[in-house]
Amino acid sequence: MWTPTTREQHRRPSQRYQTDMTDREWQVIEPLLPDPKTAGRPRRWPMREILNAIFYVMRGGIAWRLLPADFPPWSTVYRWFALLRDGAWFERINHALVMTDRQRVGRDASPSAAILDSQSVKTTEAGGPRGYDAAKKVMGRKRHALVDTDGRALLVEPHRADIQDRDGGRPLLAASRRPFPFIETVFADSGYAGDRVAHATAIAVEIVRKSPDQIGFAVHPRRWVVERFFAWIGRNRRLAKDFEATLNSARAFLYAASVMLLIRRLAKAS
């Protein structure tokens, strides 16, 4: 809940836009970005401005062509976004930042437990893969997220909304074995019950069920952590719906939102 105290804690004094990275935030992410090429035309625009522009698009939910004139040209920003997206750079940066932030608070770099859940969002006329989630009555896509017990995004994966949770969660668990090999337990809701998820990997899947006498909303142990993650990334208006024509772009923005959270947290702690 926002209060005058929390607003002051999270206030970002800036001479330009609230999405611009501070010097400390840039120091956190700069070593993780691709190095300049030794041959060919040198870079005309600094990478800091490129990332500022990508974060501006994500937070404001605007079209690329609507970038303000004090950013690099929109075509340059989009070209860099496509390069970072196709090279899985957002995923790599997120992986490095997750491990760094866990070590900062005295935890092992790789988690041993995680929480799995999904979020259904509508798509737009941009097209691309989509489906109908009959349970949520949403035509669009699902965002599957695997987070650690503090809410840091380990893996995120968008897909059509008509894919059931147990079918969408299985490949995500399998994909987690290489970047996070020490996960032993995953907490999930009853949508992931059954042999498909339980036998997908060696990870033990613990189902956190509702209380039989529950009426209305209630906070469930473990499961609320991933819901909080979805609320965090929902502050970015580009993620209010799935505006992307491709799943690759949708995935890149999800990881970019996680990266923004982590660099701000690490910079503030430093």
Per-residue pLDDT of the chain (270 residues; tens, 9 = 90+): 678 887 777 777 766 899 999 999 999 999 999 988 888 888 889 999 999 999 999 999 999 999 999 999 999 999 999 999 999 999 999 999 999 999 999 999 999 999 999 999 999 988 899 999 998 899 999 999 999 999 999 999 999 999 999 999 999 999 999 999 999 999 998 889 888 888 889 999 998 876 666 666 556 667 789 999 999 999 999 999 999 999 999 999 999 999 999 999 999 988
Distance in angstroms (rounded) separating the CA atoms of residues 255 and 90: 6
Distance in angstroms (rounded) separating the CA atoms of residues 28 and 264: 9
Distance in angstroms (rounded) separating the CA atoms of residues 169 and 179: 16
Q: What is the reported pTM?
A: 0.92
Distance in angstroms (rounded) separating the CA atoms of residues 73 and 107: 42
Bridge partners (DSSP) of residue 76 are none
What pLDDT does residue 194 have? 85
Tell me the C-alpha to C-alpha distance, in Å, between residue 23 and each of 16, 52, 270. Answer: 14, 12, 12
Tell me the C-alpha to C-alpha distance, in Å, between residue 160 and each of 53, 117, 156, 167. Answer: 28, 15, 14, 11
What pLDDT does residue 214 have? 65
What pLDDT does residue 11 have? 75
Distance in angstroms (rounded) separating the CA atoms of residues 238 and 253: 8
Q: Are 141 and 159 in contact (CB under 8 A)?
A: yes
What pLDDT does residue 215 have? 61
What pLDDT does residue 84 have? 97
What pLDDT does residue 46 have? 94
Bridge partners (DSSP) of residue 156 are 145
**Secondary structure in 3-state letters for the chain:** CCCHHHHHHCCCCCCCCCCCCCHHHHHHHHHHCCCCCCCCCCCCCCHHHHHHHHHHHHHHCCCHHHCCCCCCCHHHHHHHHHHHHHCCHHHHHHHHHHHHHHHHCCCCCCCCEEEEEEEEEEECCCCCCCEEECCCCEEEEEEEEEEECCCCEEEEEEEECCCCHHHHHHHHHHHHCCCCCCCCEEEECHHHCCHHHHCCCCCEEEECCCCCCCCCCCCCCCHHHHHHHHHHHCCCHHHCCECCCCHHHHHHHHHHHHHHHHHHHHHHHC
Among all chains, which residue has been given the structure tokens 């990870």? 203
